[in-house]
Chain A
Amino acid sequence: NAGVTQTPKFRILKIGQSMTLQCTQDMNHNYMYWYRQDPGMGLKLIYYSVGAGITDKGEVPNGYNVSRSTTEDFPLRLELAAPSQTSVYFCASSYPDRGHPEQYFGPGTRLTVT
C-alpha cells in the first residue's frame, strides 16, 4: 500500500511551458485534492474531486486544470507556466464515508518557473 504518490519530485519550467503533475492513490479514496504551499503561507486548495468525473475549484484555481477519469488518478495541468506558480504542490486524498476528516498527503512536487 503506497498511499498517495506524486511525480515528478522536482521540475524546472520556463515561462509559458506546460506540464502535468501526476497523482495516484491506492487507498480507494473517493475524494482527492490539489494544494499548493508557498513559504510561510500554509496550504491553499487549488482543485478537488469528489469522485471520477467530478471536479470543482478551490481557493486558487486560476492557471490550473484538472481531470478525474479514474478513482486512483487526479492529474493537475499547468498551462502557460508563470513565475507565480513556483511552489510546492501536494496531492491528498480522503475517504468520506468513515466520518473521519483526515486527508492523506503525497510527498509533493517542487516546481520552479523561471
Chain B
Amino acid sequence: QKEVEQDPGPLSVPEGAIVSLNCTYSNSAFQYFMWYRQYSRKGPELLMYTYSSGNKEDGRFTAQVDKSSKYISLFIRDSQPSDSATYLCAMSAAETSGSRLTFGEGTQLTVNP
C-alpha cells in the first residue's frame, strides 16, 4: 500500500466551479501537510501547508486536514483558467523543513473558460 494516495484525475471543470482535490495517507506520524501546484513543464511551487488537523484559508484556496480519517483536501473556489495545473499533496513527519516529503502522484486540473 502506498503511504499517500491521491485521486489521479484528470479533472476538468468550468470556470467559476468549486474544485475539491483529495489525498489519503496511512502514516500516522505525518504532521505537516502541503499542497504544491505544478504548471506544465515547471517545477512544483508551494501553495499551502497545514500543521496537524484543521482548516487553513488563503484567498480562494482552503486546505483541510482530518487526521482521524487520514484525509486531506484542497478546495478552490471560483476556479479560474489560470488554476489549470497539476496539484500534488505532500506530507512530512518531522517539524523541521529538513525532513523528507512524501508526495502523492498528482491530480491534473483543467479549468475551462
A-B contacts at CB below 8 angstroms, number = 69
Residues of A in contact, count (CB < 8 Å)? 30
Contact of A105 with B43 in the complex, beta carbons under 8 Å: yes
Q: Classify the secondary structure of B's interface with A.
A: loop
**Contact flags (1/0) for B89-113 with A, using CB distance below 8 Å?**
0001011111111011110000000
Residue from B43, B98, B99 in contact with A108 in the complex, judged by beta carbons closer than 8 Å: B43
Residues of A at the B interface (CB closer than 8 Å) are 4, 30-31, 33, 40-43, 45, 48, 50, 58, 90, 92, 94-108, 110
A48-B100, A96-B98 known, 13 other contacts, Cβ within 8 Å: A33-B100, A40-B106, A42-B105, A43-B101, A90-B43, A90-B44, A95-B97, A101-B92, A101-B99, A102-B46, A103-B97, A103-B101, A110-B41
